[in-house]
Structure 1
Amino acid sequence: MSDREAPYDPYIPQGGQGGGAQQGGNQRTAALQAQIDDTVGVMRENINKVSQRGERLDSLQDKTDNLAVSAQGFRRGANRVRKQMWWKDMKMRMCLIVGVIVLLIVIIVPAAVEERWATTTTSTSKSEAREALTVLEQTVEQHLSKRALLMDDGSDGLFLLQ
């Protein structure tokens, strides 16, 4: 306080005139004035801090708004990608189903055609086999009848086996 000059106060007489009571009052007034100056300084610092805090809050609000916009864009992008992946999955499933159907057609159709052909040829073969069997029976009967005639002659019938 000694290096500070006392502020001007119109109620305090200048020049040191007056008694000791005035000097004590001057000191008390000077002390009060110093407290007021300190309080004003603290208030100025607080006001500066509040304004800086307000600026930081504004900056934080801007960042929050930007983050909200980014989140909305991310959500849209994620939905778009989800739909694209769903369609890709559906296309893959459809390809698999078509592939299985084609594979079944490739396996079943030739088998069915072959079975029908086999049935047709088998029935033809059966009739041919019956005819061949009939011819064979007739041939065997002819040979047996010849053998029976030969045995009646007294020969042993070995020439038929040769």
Structure 2
Amino acid sequence: MTATEVQTRQDEKLKILGPVMGRLQSEMLNPLIVRVFQIMLRGNHFIQAPPILANQEIEIEYVSPMALAMKSQQLSGIMRGMEIFGSLSQTMPVTDYIDENGLVKELIDILGLSAKMIKSDDEVQEIRANRQEQQMQQAQMQQALDESQVAKNAAPAVKAINETNKR
């Protein structure tokens, strides 16, 4: 059996089990986990949370093989969408609808990349500002080079005009 066949079979299973698991998570497991968490919180079974986490809503993230397979399915959908947008962008400006930062953050979440590997928003902004500054400097250098080339090419013509005017 090829890898493509395995992926196709897995996709078929997910299409059948995915809705059942999604409903099971949202209607049974999520409320159960929230309830147990609240009971433990009221019973002081957790260490004191930092002030920044006060009154924050908890988000439950499942990491079972089934949950990871469902995320993989979501990733496949995003990649198919990007392929379609890539094709359409040849004839129309569809990429204007894509929030690149949001897309990258969603991919980071789906892939489960460690926070240690990801730069903060401030670091990304700094990198982009530096890149933009470098591009502006390069453009200015290119413009100065172009202007000096024009002056160099125009010098013989100016000299010829001056000699013609002297006669």
Higher helix share: 1
Structure with the bigger RCO (C-alpha within 8 Å, sep 6+) is 2
CA radius of gyration, larger in: 1
